Amino acid sequence: WKDDKFTHLDSDIEKLRVRTTMYISYTGSRGALHLCKELINNAIDEAANPQSPCDTMEVEYDVNSNRLTVRDNGRGIPFEQVETVCSYLQAGSNLFKSTDKKNAGEYAGENGVGLTAVNALSKEFSLIIYRDGKRGLFTFDDGKLVDTKYTKCSEKNHGTTVTFVPDEKYLGKCKIDHTEV
């Protein structure tokens, strides 16, 4: 039979690239906008979490470079978890939260797809995280963590900043429509 040859992709980054619309529904500008909304929703989720100190979010879009930056002053992703949550599907803190009716709306998001999708479909992707008196800069290239730099900072600093540029290689023509963000 012609279809007896099976393929298995080990890398979640490759899964997202090969079947993009299975994970984010769209390619092109709509796909890029979906990735923007994912980052914004992550910051909203952090602000809505009663355990988070987050009270500020910022969204910045550079039209010339098609670069989106989303900042929050929440807890900050634990440094040791950054590569996992940016490289593997279903990696996050919402997976085993209660789903009863009382708490169902408390935890939004796609349960560990978002940051991995943004990473997989980005030409540029980086995070700056402030947590526990340290600042961590995490730079990814082609879906892989390539550089990590830590510096000391004030214990008062906390939060996550994510910057990305969508990649036409995977999304096609993908100029972010900033009127929709």
Residue type, 37: K
- Residues contacting residue 101 through CB under 8 Å, at least 6 positions apart: none
- Tens-digit pLDDT profile for the chain (181 aa)? 777 888 888 899 999 999 999 999 999 999 999 999 999 999 999 999 999 999 999 999 999 999 999 999 999 999 999 999 999 986 655 544 555 445 544 544 444 578 999 999 999 999 999 999 999 999 999 999 999 999 999 999 999 999 999 999 999 999 998 777 6
Two tokens, residue 160? 């996550």
Residue type, 52: S
86 sits in which H/E element: helix 82-87
**C-alpha span between 12 and 30 (Å, rounded):** 22
Q: Smallest Cα–Cα separation from 161: which of 90, 72, 33, 96?
A: 72
> What's the confidence (pLDDT) of residue 180?
73
